[in-house]
Amino acid sequence: MIPVIVHGAEGRMGRLITEMVEASDDLQLVGLVTEVGRGRSPGEFHPRLPLTPQDRLADVLEPGVVVIDFTSSAALDGLLDGAAAADASLVIGTTGHDEEQLRRLRDYAAAHPVVMASNFSVGIPVLRLLLEKLAEILPPGFMPAQVETHHRHKLDLPSGTARTLAHAWEDRRGEGTVPTHSLRLGGVTGEHTWIFSDDEETLVLTHRAHSRRAFLRGLPSAVRYAAAAGPGLATMEDVLAAGERSETG
């Protein structure tokens, strides 16, 4: 069994991740972590486990543990300080980190396994691969634009997924920055639409998450990868490639 801590356990994603880990055959929930000052005893938030404040993260760490983080970018420093105490592996779903925070994450990953993805659904990694292919085959003259829509509580803008997809296109196409338009509307879980137009025609690709459960789909394999990997900062593409190698090998 792989011991797992959910960092951000009170959040919209954290609650779903907790359920997912508890329903898994090979993951064992050993800790639930929240913001400083919000700790609770067993039975108050979870029937068996305490809700541990971030500054007591070290209390729930154990050898071989993987910490799944879905919080806010501001929580990163406390997470890295705590996780380092037990050389914990990390799976980071939080988005919106700035350059300095990403540098700290890369430093941590130089000595520990870290998987980081702005989107753990099945469809978004496929959309990313499609965009890389389209960047090679769409004739010159097709203008791209991206529209991303999320619920009104989402903090980062544009979304982490929109940034990841834009970089995938821009790196392959080499025609500069893709215009990205962000909408924050009601309870929309997450939509990313790419539109390509020239004077004669339009091509549209949309990924739509029906619920937050879509973002749980890649997590178990990311956790297994982080538990087995050596130090380094891996993406969901690395996780998927490792799965394909083990199926064919």
* 157-160: Cβ within 8 A, 24+ apart: 157/182, 157/184, 158/182, 159/95, 159/118, 159/190, 159/192, 160/95, 160/96, 160/118, 160/119
| By the rule CB under 6 A, 6 interacts with ligand NAD | no
Nearer to ligand NAD by Cβ, of 112 and 192: the residue is 192
Give how many residues touch ligand NAD by CB under 6 A: 26
| By the rule CB under 6 A, 164 interacts with ligand NAD | no
**Which of 4-12, 100-108, 129-137, 237-245 is the region at the interface with ligand NAD (rule: CB under 6 A)?**
4-12
154 is catalytic: yes
133 is catalytic: no
Active-site pick, 7, 97, 112, 154: 154
Cα separation values, 240 from 145, 186, 247, Å: 27, 33, 11
Nearer to ligand NAD by Cβ, of 143 and 155: the residue is 155
The whole-angstrom separation of Cα 61 and Cα 181 is 41
Residues 84-123 that bind ligand NAD (CB under 6 A): 93-96, 117-120
| By the rule CB under 6 A, 72 interacts with ligand NAD | yes
The whole-angstrom separation of Cα 214 and Cα 220 is 13
Contacts of 46 (CB under 8 A, 6+ apart): 9, 18, 32
Cβ atoms 119, 161 nearer than 8 A: yes
CB-closest chain residue to ligand NAD = 11
| By the rule CB under 6 A, 40 interacts with ligand NAD | no
Q: Which residues bind ligand NAD (CB under 6 A)?
A: 7-8, 10-14, 33-35, 54, 70-72, 75, 78, 93-96, 117-120, 156, 215
Give the active site residues: 150, 154
